[in-house]
Amino acid sequence: MIKVATTDEEILKCHEVIFALRPKLKDDIYLNEMKKTLADNRMLIFVEEKGKALSCSVFEWGYNLYRGKYIYIDDLSTMPEARGKGYASQLLNWIINYANENKFDQVHLDSGVRDERFDAHRLYLNKRFNITSLHFALEFKN
C-alpha cells in the first residue's frame, strides 16, 4: 500500500530507504533536512509492509517555460532486500497517475549511469520514459 508521508513518524520510517540511495545523509540531520525538502513543493510517498518502509520516492512539482507544468522525481529508492518485487514500479505508477489526475504536462527524472543503475533504467524505459538529454552539473565544495 502506498502512503504519503505527512508526519514525523512517517518521514522517519523512510530514513533507511532514503539512506540506501543517499548514504552521505547523516542520521542526526535527516528529519530536519527532509522537512526542509518537503516544504518546497515536494511530496514523500512510500510503500510499507508490516510496519516497515521498503521503497519510497520524493518528487517535486513546478512550472517552467520548457516543461510546462511538471513533476520531477528527486529520489526513488528501494531497500536492497526488497528490490525486484515491483515496489518502485508501484511508486512510479502512483506518480504517473497523480500527474495525469492533476493535469501535469510532464514527469522527469535523472538517473546515474553506473552499472548498478541498469535495472532502474530498464524500469524507466518500461514505464515509457524517454532519454531526452544529458544532465550536466557544476558542484561547489563549500
CATH number, domain containing residue 112? 3.40.630.30
With a cut of 90, say whether residue 35 has pLDDT above it.
Answer: yes
Of the pLDDT bands very low, low, confident and very high (cuts 50, 70, 90), residue 115 is confident
Measured CA distances, 68 to 37, 65, 76 (Å) = 22, 6, 22
- Identify the band that residue 123 occupies on the pLDDT scale cut at 50, 70 and 90: very high
* Domain-embedded: residue 139: no
Residue at 84: amino acid letter: G
Any domain includes 58: yes
Q: Examine residue 50 and state whether it is found in any structural domain, yes or no.
A: yes
Domain that holds residue 32: 2-126
Whether 137 is covered by a domain: the verdict is no
Number of domains in the chain: 1
Residue 134 lies in a domain: no
Q: In terms of C-beta density within 10 A (0-12 exposed, 13-18 middle, 19 or more buried), how is residue 125 classed? A: exposed
Q: Classify residue 138: in a domain, yes or no.
A: no
For residue 136, tell me if it sits in a domain: no
Within-domain flag for 142: no
Single pTM value for the model: 0.92
Helical (H) or strand (E) element with 59: strand 52-64
Torsion of CA 8, 12, 17, 20, to 10 degrees: 120
